[in-house]
Amino acid sequence: MSLVKLNRHNRYAYSPITERPTFTWPRDKQLALSVCNNIEVFSFLGGLGSDSTTLTAPQTARNYAWRDYGNRVGQWYIFDLLDEFGFPASHNVNSMLFEECPQITQRIMTRGDEFVGHGRTNAERQDALGEDDERRLIAEATETIKKHTGKQPRGWMGPYFAQTPVTLDLLKEAGYSYVLDWPADDQPFWLKTRSGPLLSVPYSLEVNDSPAIVFRHHGASEYERMMIDQFDEMLVQSKKWPLVCTLVIHPFIIGYPFRLRALRRALQHISKFRDEIWVTTPGAVASHFAKINPAP
């Protein structure tokens, strides 16, 4: 017996994809596809925030303006592109967006897209907080979305994929039914919390323009190839079992015209297979899965 002991999360048990019950998505589709868009606000010359060239760069007017381009311009290009292809989307929104950029949130409501909780601002991380402060962060973000949309957000994606040991418990207690923070699978799976089950819905850490382009410095053409290759291979694999493919984007990254062109070509390719897939949102994926695979 090994003397090494692993820390365990005790949130879910190991389950190989080959040993799970079979099911299908609506209209007997085997592959679900979601465009997951992150719309974020930042603090000027303070807090956290990506830089276009250096991972650990301090906050400057330059990198603030680089990110702000996404909300001022890039997001509007993305809205029009989604409209052009007739694709729904989910939007991971910092709750302060409702005050800072109300025209964006209004466009989301006009489109009928899904709002996903994404903290208050990406200038902060919730994993640096104690339990009471984290509970307050989740409550503030949730209440702001409810106030402006009239609906409780069902899904949560923490800024920077950040969680504390009690985040899942707090989200369940705040009324959330699914999370996107656990990129451990290509199918939804149930997580344990101290107040009952919470669903994990697939959300790609790899086919995600932030780590790909900002952190690993992939070019636009490389990211285009990633999106297409991910989709094509998952379409093949979905012949064996139902899967969820997500394209994860940020308007201050993919929203620049030369990168938007790459997204356009990827959506053109995916659209050729529209009749074979279910184009949807994470919330719809969660609802369908929970009906046919109820929580244990």
Is 16 part of a structural domain of the chain?
Answer: no
Is 218 part of a structural domain of the chain?
Answer: yes
Is 12 part of a structural domain of the chain?
Answer: no
Is 132 part of a structural domain of the chain?
Answer: yes
Total number of domains constituting the chain: 1
Assign residue 119 the CATH number of its domain.
Answer: 3.20.20.370
Sign of the dihedral defined by the CA atoms of residues 53, 59, 65, 69, in that order: positive
- Per-residue pLDDT, 296: 87
Task: Give residue-wise pLDDT tens across range 150-171.
Answer: 999 999 999 999 999 999 999 9
Name, in order, each residue with C-beta under 8 angstroms of 72's C-beta and a sequence gap of 6 or more. none
Residue pair 178/169 in contact (Cβ under 8 Å)? The answer is no
Name, in order, each residue with C-beta under 8 angstroms of 267's C-beta and a sequence gap of 6 or more. 81, 85, 87
Is 18 part of a structural domain of the chain?
Answer: no
Domain of 175 in residue numbering reads as 23-292
Is 120 part of a structural domain of the chain?
Answer: yes
Element (DSSP H or E) covering residue 262: helix 257-271
Q: How far apart are CA 122 and CA 47, in angstroms?
A: 8
Q: How many CA atoms lie within 13 A of 183 on its CB side?
A: 15
Task: Give residue-wise pLDDT tens across range 181-221.
Answer: 999 999 999 999 999 999 999 999 999 999 999 999 999 99
Using CA atoms, how far residue 173 sits from 114, 157, 250, in Å, is 21, 16, 29
Residue 2, pLDDT > 90, answer: no
Is 11 part of a structural domain of the chain?
Answer: no
- Per-residue pLDDT, 3: 82
- 3-class secondary-structure state, position 38: strand
Residue 72, pLDDT > 70, answer: yes
Task: Give residue-wise pLDDT tens across range 229-264.
Answer: 999 999 999 999 999 999 999 999 999 999 999 999
- Per-residue pLDDT, 1: 65
Is 10 part of a structural domain of the chain?
Answer: no
